[in-house]
Amino acid sequence: MQLTLRGGRTRTGLATGAVQITVRNRATDGSTKQTIQLSCDQARYTAGATRDKGRIDLEGNVRSKTYTSGFDGPITLNGAKGYVEFLDAENTRVQIDQGSSSFTPIEPAPAPRKK
């Protein structure tokens, strides 16, 4: 898992302003399995019991765009608040509360016609 934080002003684990967070979950071969782009007005990091665990709470105009196989374009979630939780070194949980969502699944190709 790779985490990138951009924008905003950071002070003791608190980022304010136009905060952007990118989470890349990797497959076992090192390729990107899933990319999640988050934006919000404020984010607060809380450390966990170990270095690879912790949580980022998101507040204000939270927007999540998830790019993953099986969908044509991103899965978009909008809400008032949410969080990113680090479960272990390679897994994260992202949740957006109190909002809406949109996505477009990739339609399977039709089976070839028999002559």
Dump pLDDT digits (tens) for 57-88.
999 999 999 888 777 788 888 999 999 888 77
Band the pLDDT of 100: cuts 50, 70, 90: confident
The closest alpha carbon to 3, from 49, 52, 48, 67, belongs to 52
Residue whose pair of structure tokens reads 């450390």 in the numeric block: 47
* Residue 110 is assigned to a structural domain of this protein: no
Specify whether the CB–CB gap between 35 and 94 falls below 8 A.
no
Helix (H, G, I), strand (E, B) or coil at 79: strand
Tell me what pLDDT residue 89 has. 62
CB atoms inside a 10 Å sphere around CB 83: 19
Band the pLDDT of 24: cuts 50, 70, 90: confident
From residue 87, give the alpha-carbon distance in Å to each of 3, 82, 91, 103: 13, 16, 6, 25
Domain region containing 71: 2-102
Tell me what pLDDT residue 69 has. 73
Band the pLDDT of 17: cuts 50, 70, 90: confident
0.75 exceeded by pTM: no
* Residue 113 is assigned to a structural domain of this protein: no
Specify whether the CB–CB gap between 20 and 5 falls below 8 A.
yes
Tell me what pLDDT residue 58 has. 92
* Residue 68 is assigned to a structural domain of this protein: yes
* Residue 107 is assigned to a structural domain of this protein: no
Domain tally, the chain = 1
Share of the chain above pLDDT 70, in %: 72
Task: Write phi, then psi, for 94 (nearest 5 degrees).
Answer: -120, 130
Task: Write phi, then psi, for 89 (nearest 5 degrees).
Answer: -60, -25
More reliable by pLDDT, 92 or 79: 79
